[in-house]
Chains A and B, each alone.
Chain A
Amino acid sequence: MSGHVAPKTMYYAVFLALLAGTGLTVAAAFFDMGAMNNVVMLAIASIKALLVILFFMHVRWSTRLTWVVVASGFFWLLIMFGLTMTDYFSRGWVEGTWR
């Protein structure tokens, strides 16, 4: 049986990128950027997660089925967040309703 063997240097490069991302997100947290703080924070976290998934977890070289499985996990999470937040974001839009 054979799987893709990635060069060691790739693992070290990804590792350094993850550490850099951590440093960046901690540094950014000390600046008050308003709502942008959340955007920056989550963007960095997502990129870090993506690096781990693609390279450490070998999805980069996996079958299309694996891509679909991984994507569906996050997609369903977004369904849950999205539809639930339609409720919380629009609470009290109609006068006299409970908030």
Chain B
Amino acid sequence: MATEGNIHARPIAIQPAPAGPYVHEAHHPWLQHHFDSMTQQAEASTLGMWVFLVTEIMFFGGLFMAYLVYRHASPSGFQEASHHLNIYWGTANTAILIISSLTMALAVRSAQTSQPRGTQVLFLFLTIVLGLAFLGIKAIEYTDKFKDRIVPGPNFHWEGTHAKAAEQFYSLYFAMTGLHALHMIIGVGIMSVILVMAWWRIFDEEYYTPVEVAGLYWHFVDIVWIFLFPLLYLIGRHYHAG
């Protein structure tokens, strides 16, 4: 193609960047080469995590959609099935996750305020322990379900009027809590890495993005449970068979 068409001056000036607001920060050891500043890097990471959490909302959303459709189809069946869940374990686990969210938030804060590594590690450690406690209780509950033969499949056994709806409820129960538990396991793994990084004294007020981003994930998993708990455990509390 002929280039005589370029009668107008080039619109874009490629100039060396001035020593202005974009390069003024001293080069931090944790600044990756393609970012201009620590602020830009931190903002990109947190935005990235938020966008990822949006995909997580939609990921769990598909299951909540199924729950909504089937609960709409057999409301009393779902209540009857829900009645069989152990509300004490459920409530205990809710409290455990809320406490872990607090320790998580405090872990982020302690990094943000350049607390000594002991403080940072302690909060992260507590978060991990609480996460494991949640998973332990979940394991107890799952074992009970296997004992009571209310795990969906050929051996599903239900004493009640809505056997089919109950099986569906427990299909959703295992799918939803299973996916949530998987997220908890991944969360514990992430927190362990973060704990090691805190032990290495990586985090201070200059650089705490990994703790912050991991915290966002942890809180999200907590939020999922905040909705799972009432939808699965509480809807059958006042249900009386018959």
Contacts and interface: CB of A to CB of B under 8 A. Distances in A.
Q: Do chains A and B touch in the complex (CB under 8 A)?
A: yes
B104 A56 contact: yes
Main secondary structure of the interface of A (DSSP, over half): helix
B223 A73 contact: no
Interface string A1-28: 1110110100110110011001001100
Given A1-B206, A76-B58, A25 B230 contact: yes
Contacts of B238: 29-32, 37
B224 to A, nearest CB: 9
B102 interface: yes
Interface residues of B, number: 54
Give 6 nearest A-B pairs by CB, closest first: A73-B54, A29-B234, A29-B237, A73-B57, A32-B238, A41-B230
30 contacts: A1-B207, A11-B109, A19-B95, A22-B94, A26-B234, A29-B230, A37-B235, A37-B238, A41-B231, A44-B230, A45-B227, A45-B229, A49-B223, A55-B105, A57-B219, A58-B212, A62-B46, A66-B46, A70-B50, A72-B54, A73-B53, A76-B54, A76-B57, A76-B58, A77-B61, A80-B61, A80-B65, A81-B64, A81-B68, A84-B69
